[in-house]
Amino acid sequence: MSKPIKLYYHDGLYFRRSLFRTLGNLFRHGTLYLPVYNAGDQLSPLLVAHLSGRSVKYAAPFSQNKLIGLGSGLAAIKPGDVVWGAGLARPEHVKYISKGSNFRILAVRGPKTRDALLAAGHDCPEVFGDPTLLAPLVFPRQRKPKFRAGVVPEHPRIGQFRQRKFDDGVTFIPPSLNIEDFVTQLCECDLIITSSLHALILADAYGVPAVPLVHPPHQALGFDFEDYLASTGRTGRYILDSERIDIAHAEQLAQELGAAVVNLDPLLQAFPYSSR
């Protein structure tokens, strides 16, 4: 019987990452453990298990000989690790990667991550794609639009957006939903407006038009968004957040942004374990 795959992903168990996060979590919630309340993070072990036919075991970011897949966790790379589709959250995070370490990079999220790695002296193939785009292999869904638009904020802003009033035909979709429910609700919308990169990529995966949402004081997309968009042949289009989001303008921007153009075969071929 094959050993479980050691995979780094956010699982809600804070003490595995930081003593300060643990103490803060105890103070705020009175518990060491909070389940993963982020749909994109929930997908990571499910996708790897589906593709490999093997069980998946959580691996802490400081551990070695692990797989780093979807998301922005590439800076957690350690000796013996394998990177498959991960990216950097910011280009300066490349400084956390030790030169000469014995790790393998098989694919990264986008060309901006690759450029940062090459500039720092690391080898990186020209294989791009966030594995989140493979979600339909795990959760097949047909689009059944019921809403003109769905608004998905980044995780820390869920509480703020719960209090907002939205126009008729616009629905709030919290990224804290179970992954299956989250995907179902995405597919019920004609448009997704989101500051969650996971949500943007999932919308692309299921063919739902989408546009990034930028929260002031920021006036531009972050590195991670630009990195992903570049991997799909697109450049930044986004709408600035306001108390009342202009849905017609968002629809226009999503049309200008267009659909993701990406060949996922190289990403699948780079998967480091035997497929089912």
Residue with tokens 């790790």: 103
Among 99-103, 178-182, 254-258, the range scoring the smallest mean pLDDT is 99-103
Query: Per residue in 147-174, pLDDT tens?
Result: 999 999 988 888 888 889 898 999 999 9
Our measurement of the distance from residue 133's CA atom to the centroid of its chain's CA atoms, rounded to an integer in Å, reads: 9
How much is the pLDDT for 153?
93
- Strand, coil or helix: what is 22? helix
How much is the pLDDT for 14?
47
The CATH number assigned to the domain with range 135-257 reads 3.40.50
Residue closest to 127 by CA, chosen among 157, 148, 143, 107 = 107
- Strand, coil or helix: what is 261? coil
**Pairwise CA distance, residues 213 & 166, whole Å:** 15
Region at 165 (left for phi over 0; alpha for psi -120 to 50; beta for the rest): beta
Asked if 187 contacts 142 with a C-beta cutoff of 8 angstroms, the reply is yes
Q: What is the pTM of this model?
A: 0.90
Dihedral angle sign, alpha carbons of residues 77, 3, 198, 10: negative
Instruction: Tell me the residue type at 53.
Output: G
Q: Which residues contact 78 (CB under 8 A, 6 or more apart)?
A: 62, 63, 64, 66, 101, 103
Instruction: Tell me the residue type at 74.
Output: L
The CATH 3.40.50 domain(s) of the chain lie at 135-257
Beta-bridge partners for 193: 151, 211
The strand order across the sheet containing 56-58 reads 56-58, 5-8, 67-68, 82-86, 104-108
Residue 167 has, within 13 A of its CA and on its CB side, a CA count of 11
Query: Per residue in 199-242, pLDDT tens?
Result: 999 999 999 999 999 998 888 999 999 999 999 999 888 999 98
